[in-house]
Amino acid sequence: MTNTESFFNPKVLKNDTLSGLTVALALVPEAVAFALIAHVNPIVGLYAAFFMGLIAAAIGGRPGMITGATGAIAVVAVALVVEHDINHLFVAVVLMGLIQILFGIFKLGKFIRLVPHPVFLGFVNGLALVIFIAQLAHFQLPNDSGAHGVKGLFVAEWIPMTQIAIMLAIAFLTMAIIQWLPKFTTIIPSTLAAIIVGTVLVLGLMQIFPDFTTKTVGDITSIKGGLPQFSMPTVTMDIFLTALPYAIIMALVGLIESLLTLNLIDEITETTGRPNKECIGQGVANTVTGLFGGMGGCAMVGQSIINIKSGGRGRWSGISAALFLLMFILYASSLIEVIPIAVLMGVMFMVVIGTFEWSSFGLLTKIPPVESMIGIAVAVITVFFDLAVAVIIGVILSALVFAWEHAKHINVRRFVNDDGQTIYQLEGALFFGSIRQFQELFSPKEDTDDVIIDFQTARVADHSALEAIDKLADRYQKAGRTLHLVHLSEQCRLLLDKAGPLVEVNVKEDPHYSVAVDNAALLLAEKR
């Protein structure tokens, strides 16, 4: 079925529309909460959720994925708002979008493939914990500390236990409806049904028992507002230079979270998104958001999973969610504000359960311990610090582990043939991590006068490897030995300096592969 056919399919359209309504209801408290974290008016977060959700769903590379105002962007934006003003934030959001568009144009989205699976598991599990901890903040009294996440749990005062028990009971009822309703009917998304039933039940209890109270969306803030207005931020060279570093960080954070979420949705739906197109979609969405007074954002894991689980798989699910959100802001704020926070907590608790990779516990004894530690480290850093920092550290740790392991796998078979030549048959990858061991494999003074080093089963990987071969050639020259290097790639032969004249090339047998070097022209020539 083509995209056009699926869009006009009544069943698909119904599923996407109902799923969009469900997502829109869950977006409201999230957008408000992240706006407060960034120290901006809640309507700024709601406008961001509208524009980000609408544009990214329409032109992005992952149908069914939900985009909006997020905590990952808010924690970066807060410093800019506090130290300067909201105009600086809008400039940064526009620049953030332009940077993301460039990422897509230059097809840099493919580099998300470099994120190893243990890092991806750590990202998913850490994000599930962040969502869970964020819900615990609803059990606390408001405070002016500005703390959030795990830190906030230790500085705020808890509400009375009676209210906590009531909120938990409502949350568990919501979770039960979400879990069990699909076994009886799929006419309406179970999450939407849970929100409606939970809200009606609580309102009924308030009518029957005047003393019965629980926190609602309206207790946090009013979501009523008008249509977003175009407003070009004031830009001077000083403002530009101040906002640019924040824009770069926000762009990277947003793309990392969006592309990892894209991969997660790919796995759940067994389909394939388009990372580079998603970079452009996110970039256009952020650029427009900054021009209409929004705080910027990126893909939202929790809401994306709610959408997928509710049956929303097409672009209309994200578009309808954004349009419903705008309708709430303009006309239905009084209805949305009566939704109990505990009901939305129950929804998010189900997201936590669905997001967390429970199978990762079983992997602890099946994969190398160092990979398990990397996954745990990424999850912990995500919870206590920042998602982007966690992923970057995880990738660096994985790369170091890879380099360390492969540095041990360089070895050589040495023998003297019938012609009295010393033969070295090299095996493994020669790169910056293995060059020291490579040098220790050879003894020029102990070899015969004629020495052959065969690279047929070896891989010369980088410029450090080329330097190591040059140094080895220099050692043999000083020892008065005749050295022959065979089965090196043509590129290696051209780039070697001291060993160049000593290289023997066999056109039929020599390998043809690229070496990662600083010479961009040679790299481009090799690709062509």
CB 421 within 8 Å of CB 452: yes
Residue 154 confidence (pLDDT):
55
Question: Do 65 and 134 lie in a common domain?
Answer: yes
Q: In angstroms, rounded to a whole number, what is the distance separating the alpha carbons of residues 440 and 336? A: 71
What six digits make up the tokens of 517?
Answer: 């070097």
Question: Do 159 and 226 lie in a common domain?
Answer: yes
Question: Do 37 and 95 lie in a common domain?
Answer: yes
Sequence-distant (6+) residues with CB within 8 A of 375 are 118, 119, 121, 122, 125, 360, 394
Domain that holds residue 471: 408-527
Q: Using alpha carbons, select from 55, 52, 92, 56 the residue that is nearest to residue 76.
A: 92
Helices (H), 209-314: 217-220, 237-269, 275-291, 301-309
CB 302 within 8 Å of CB 30: yes
DSSP β-bridge partners for residue 427: 411, 457
3-state secondary structure of 224: coil
Q: Residue 28 falls within a domain, yes or no?
A: yes
Residue 156 confidence (pLDDT):
62
Domain count, the chain: 2
The CATH number of residue 463's host domain is 3.30.750.24
With 70 as the cut, is the pLDDT of residue 146 above it?
no
116 or 99: whose pLDDT is higher?
99
Question: Do 357 and 419 lie in a common domain?
Answer: no
Residue 409 confidence (pLDDT):
81
Give the containing element (helix H, strand E) for 162. helix 161-180
Q: Residue 321 falls within a domain, yes or no?
A: yes
Residue 180, Cβ neighbours under 10 Å: how many?
A: 10
Helices (H), 337-449: 341-355, 359-363, 369-384, 387-407, 435-440
Confidence of residue 425 (pLDDT cuts 50, 70, 90): very high
Confidence of residue 185 (pLDDT cuts 50, 70, 90): confident
What six digits make up the tokens of 299?
Answer: 């893909």
Write down which residue in 363, 393, 428 finishes a domain: 363
Q: Residue 304 falls within a domain, yes or no?
A: yes
Residue 432 confidence (pLDDT):
86
Q: In angstroms, rounded to a whole number, what is the distance separating the alpha carbons of residues 324 and 22? A: 9
pLDDT tens digit sequence for 219-253: 877 888 889 999 899 999 999 999 999 999 889 88
Question: What's at 354, amino acid-wise?
Answer: G
With 50 as the cut, is the pLDDT of residue 172 above it?
yes
What six digits make up the tokens of 307?
Answer: 């959408």
3-state secondary structure of 294: coil
Q: In angstroms, rounded to a whole number, what is the distance separating the alpha carbons of residues 221 and 217? A: 7
Question: Do 353 and 453 lie in a common domain?
Answer: no
- What is the gyration radius of the CA atoms in the chain, in angstroms? 29
CB 214 within 8 Å of CB 163: yes
Dump the DSSP string for 131-161.
HHHHHHGGGB---SS---HHHHTTTSPBPPH
CB 47 within 8 Å of CB 294: yes
With 50 as the cut, is the pLDDT of residue 145 above it?
no
Phi, psi for residue 77 in degrees, rounded to 5? -70, -30
Question: Do 308 and 449 lie in a common domain?
Answer: no
Q: Residue 435 falls within a domain, yes or no?
A: yes
Q: In angstroms, rounded to a whole number, what is the distance separating the alpha carbons of residues 284 and 292? A: 13
Q: In angstroms, rounded to a whole number, what is the distance separating the alpha carbons of residues 207 and 236? A: 56
Q: In angstroms, rounded to a whole number, what is the distance separating the alpha carbons of residues 70 and 89? A: 15
> From the centroid of its chain, how far is CA 39?
24
Q: Which residue has the tokens 């689980």?
A: 309
pTM of the predicted model, to two decimals? 0.71
Question: Do 234 and 359 lie in a common domain?
Answer: yes
Sequence-distant (6+) residues with CB within 8 A of 25 are 192, 195, 336, 339, 344
Write down which residue in 308, 336, 363 finishes a domain: 363
Q: Residue 217 falls within a domain, yes or no?
A: yes
- The bridge status of strand 450-460 relative to strand 482-486 is parallel
Question: What's at 491, amino acid-wise?
Answer: Q
Q: Residue 521 falls within a domain, yes or no?
A: yes
Question: Do 348 and 466 lie in a common domain?
Answer: no
Question: What's at 294, amino acid-wise?
Answer: G
DSSP β-bridge partners for residue 454: 425, 486
DSSP β-bridge partners for residue 340: 216
Question: Do 293 and 438 lie in a common domain?
Answer: no
Mean pLDDT of the chain: 84
Confidence of residue 389 (pLDDT cuts 50, 70, 90): confident
Q: Residue 264 falls within a domain, yes or no?
A: yes
Question: Do 351 and 453 lie in a common domain?
Answer: no
Question: Do 304 and 162 lie in a common domain?
Answer: yes
With 90 as the cut, is the pLDDT of residue 508 above it?
no
> From the centroid of its chain, how far is CA 394?
12
> From the centroid of its chain, how far is CA 194?
29
Write down which residue in 339, 363, 387 finishes a domain: 363
Sequence-distant (6+) residues with CB within 8 A of 304 are 64, 65, 66, 261, 264, 265
Q: In angstroms, rounded to a whole number, what is the distance separating the alpha carbons of residues 339 and 30? A: 13
Question: Do 287 and 340 lie in a common domain?
Answer: yes
Q: Residue 379 falls within a domain, yes or no?
A: no
pLDDT tens digit sequence for 209-222: 877 778 888 887 78
Q: In angstroms, rounded to a whole number, what is the distance separating the alpha carbons of residues 271 and 313? A: 10
